[in-house]
Amino acid sequence: MGWIGVITNAGNALLAAWAGGSETLYITKATVGSGYVPDANMRTQTALQTQKDTASIVSNTPVGTTGRKLKIRVGPHASAAYTAHEIGIWAKLGAAGTETLLSLHQDSADGIDVPKASDSPEFLFDLNCVLTVSNNGSLTVNIDTMVYVAHLEFEQAQHQDWLMEEGLPNCEATPTYDANGDITGMTHVDVDTSDTMRTDVYTRTSTTITEVRTLASGEVLTITTDLTTQKTTYIFS
């Protein structure tokens, strides 16, 4: 079935109050749970059906003139595996406002199996949620920088390990662009020898975004995001 999302009734009321006033709208946090409700009842929810954990908001990017795309990242659970069927985004009006379930996103059919941290410490699941906010007032999104930096450090360490296997760890990255100015790839060149150590190629279709990272040794990491389900997969070969 895939993930679907709605602005809740309480979220609509919050947005209306923001549009009619002068206070800042704060996107405060994301939560993840194992429950779900009939799709027709999603707008009436004021909390998750069965909250299991908090999730991290790791990025906030504009979409057109009235949209914001929030990347929600779910990691492994500290003590027990579960299936994630619901994710909530919370907001408040003004610094002293009450947190409200702004939007609810769920996949009642399949969900995502979230492992226990001790079984799969590197598990990550990203869901891209697009919100339409037509007001020109002040909007603040609380980014979980600790999780974001930790993931960047993991990727950098992984990349460095690959380069160390080649014996040439000192690389600089140069992007390539198409005629529209969109990035299409990246080339990593050893600063001492000018040898190409890794090439990245980005492709996009109407349904997927794919990044293929290839080392000089022939090792390949393929990262694919399904734009329909918003699921990201990582395949080493």
What confidence score (pLDDT) does residue 138 get?
52
| Single pTM value for the model | 0.61
How many domains are there within the chain?
Answer: 2
What confidence score (pLDDT) does residue 155 get?
52
Same domain, 79 and 173: no
Q: Which residue has the tokens 């990242």?
A: 73
Q: Mark residue 12 as left, alpha or beta (left: phi above 0; alpha: psi -120 to 50; beta: remaining).
A: alpha
What confidence score (pLDDT) does residue 147 get?
42
Same domain, 80 and 167: no
The residue from 143, 177, 194 where one domain ends is 143
Averaged pLDDT, groups of 10, the chain, 237 residues long:
84 87 86 94 95 87 73 89 95 92 91 88 81 56 44 49 50 78 80 83 82 81 73 68
Same domain, 8 and 95: yes
Same domain, 77 and 187: no
The residue from 143, 160, 180 where one domain ends is 143
What confidence score (pLDDT) does residue 48 get?
97
Structural tokens at position 87: 């994710």
Same domain, 196 and 102: no
Alpha-carbon gap, residue 32 to 74, rounded angstroms:
8
237: Cβ contacts below 8 Å, ≥ 6 apart? 219, 220, 221, 222
Alpha-carbon gap, residue 126 to 72, rounded angstroms:
6
Same domain, 52 and 152: no
The residue from 143, 175, 193 where one domain ends is 143
Does residue 209 contact residue 202 with C-beta atoms inside 8 Å?
A: yes
Same domain, 11 and 49: yes
Q: Which amino acid is residue 179, in one-letter code?
A: A
What confidence score (pLDDT) does residue 95 get?
87
Same domain, 103 and 153: no
What confidence score (pLDDT) does residue 25 get?
86
Q: Which amino acid is residue 112, in one-letter code?
A: I
Alpha-carbon gap, residue 76 to 53, rounded angstroms:
9
Range of the domain at 176: 146-236
What confidence score (pLDDT) does residue 60 get?
76
